[in-house]
Structure 1
């Protein structure tokens, strides 16, 4: 069994190949572009793989992604129609996304930003006590990431709901489903957290129509994909006061270009796609288990349904 690790973005690919060799001692694991003979790989472990992957590795039996989002893989030129795509299921990302969400939720709902400004002015001035009923959280997406985010918010007694295409239930949160349930979900939401997969159906969902249906003075947190957001609509919603603040971890173009209007806008808090990183030890264990199962011909979880695009 031969495995190739192929990534155009990973800063330390040798660390991943070393970890995969340790986890799969029975396999030959090599790094893409290392000069070794090509065309014999059974499995590819990838993150933003090179465009000529399939031309140079035509015998692949499955493609295993280092992340949960597979929208970029589905756009790859030459992707065989029958090649299984297997996405990462958590890998330590969900708890990090919950932490990211809670940080921004608490900063706004507990007025910690105002306390920072008061400190700079030398002011000792307690603000009003929190009213959690005024900080209704709505999470778009009820998968592993969205469910963990929703449960973390609910555990701190913020009124929490989730929305998904299927209406999947999440313990501790109200559940809404389908287009019929979206309007009611947005109408009760003040803190909107996006944890959806990026598909043709969800691209641009963070737009003026969505923002206009939220409760006033809303907070937006996007931890999914930049393609979900209509940037001009976001700026308009901030200018109108419909949104009070925004936390963005993902962008249509990454890195976010110098001079982009988001950089200089104090209402927008920017992080460089770090809300949920794949932790190497947990990720490699999961991938190794799935590769062994696939090699035996067994079914695995996390296989992408291309009709749903996740």
Structure 2
């Protein structure tokens, strides 16, 4: 470790405006140099900040020491087949966590209070209340993925009175939350939930998990009718054709999707016009430079003092 305040930091992003990140770094760490292109500073670059970086953009950096993912997930990092063998750090930010919990609570409440139905009635100028809205304590919300985001969302839903269940790869314990783990636990989890919230990381094990195989294991009827699905994790977790088929067969009553296999969602996708689908444009928990840059700089400074990095990604598990 040879870091110091004059070391160069590479910002390797696609699909985002790099200027806002440059501006925030200039305010937060004016002594550090932030570059968008590694060509002239290869030997000086110690850190890389990435979001869907171009293939090979981190290769050939002889002194690179740490890669910071600028999103909550890290699957985008592993799409690059030439990732250097250095620590990859996930962003764990109170701002990101709160934004995701806000989104989850918003969508759970919307489904519980029949928001989709009432918006359709409004578009038709129909005044009708012919279906009871279940109380929160009658609805079981299941959270797939009990990392930082899932745990926080579970706790906030509990505060609103929902019954909350959770599933994770390994056993987790959360006060007031029924938790399941592993393949056998997933079957039990699916049998008891009315609303499924997916916050899983995208890994080889979870790719396409939101499919007909899963939907067929859900209980067929609850206080909201058929189960509801909310995916704010990653688009690669879902089989979109299976979601549409499950809706049309009555296996799902409604879905909210924030992420998709291809983004932006193609204009000819039938998801756009399906009456039981709510679409948001990968906006559940957007990365804020104002919130994240100070935390990244603090991590760099503590690392340069010889302290261990936090939230290092397990390369084998890819999260």
Q: TM-score, normalised by structure 2?
A: 0.90
- The count of aligned residue pairs is 307
In structure 2, C-alpha distance between the alignment counterparts of 1:198 and 1:270, rounded to whole Å: 20
- How far is 1:132 from its partner? 3.3
Residue equivalent to 2:29: 24
Q: Equivalent residue of 2:67, what SS?
A: strand
**What is the CA deviation profile of residues 226-264 of structure 1, one whole-angstrom value per residue up to 9, with x for unaligned ones?**
111112211111111010111000011111112112112
Residue equivalent to 1:287: 296
Residue equivalent to 1:4: 10
Residue equivalent to 1:55: 59
Are residues 1:90 and 2:93 paired? yes
Residue equivalent to 1:259: 268
| Contact 1:142 1:170 survives alignment (8 Å) | no
| Contact 2:8 2:45 survives alignment (8 Å) | yes
Are residues 1:113 and 2:122 paired? no
| Contact 2:112 2:133 survives alignment (8 Å) | no
Q: What is the RMSD computed on CA atoms of the aligned residues?
A: 2.0
Residue equivalent to 2:196: 192
Counterpart selection for 2:242 from 233, 236, 240 = 233
Cα distance change of structure 1 residues 33 and 146 upon mapping to structure 2, 3 Å threshold: same
- How far is 1:91 from its partner? 4.8
- How far is 1:41 from its partner? 0.5
| Contact 1:91 1:278 survives alignment (8 Å) | no
In structure 2, C-alpha distance between the alignment counterparts of 1:249 and 1:288, rounded to whole Å: 29
In structure 2, C-alpha distance between the alignment counterparts of 1:55 and 1:308, rounded to whole Å: 22
Are residues 1:136 and 2:137 paired? no
Gaps of 5+ in 2: 1-6, 221-225
Higher deviation after alignment, 138-147 or 264-273: 264-273
Residue equivalent to 1:75: 79
Cα distance change of structure 1 residues 194 and 129 upon mapping to structure 2, 3 Å threshold: closer
| Contact 1:91 1:283 survives alignment (8 Å) | no
Q: Equivalent residue of 2:45, what SS?
A: coil
| Contact 2:114 2:133 survives alignment (8 Å) | no
Gaps of 5+ in 1: none
In structure 1, C-alpha distance between the alignment counterparts of 2:80 and 2:56, rounded to whole Å: 9
- How far is 1:134 from its partner? 4.1
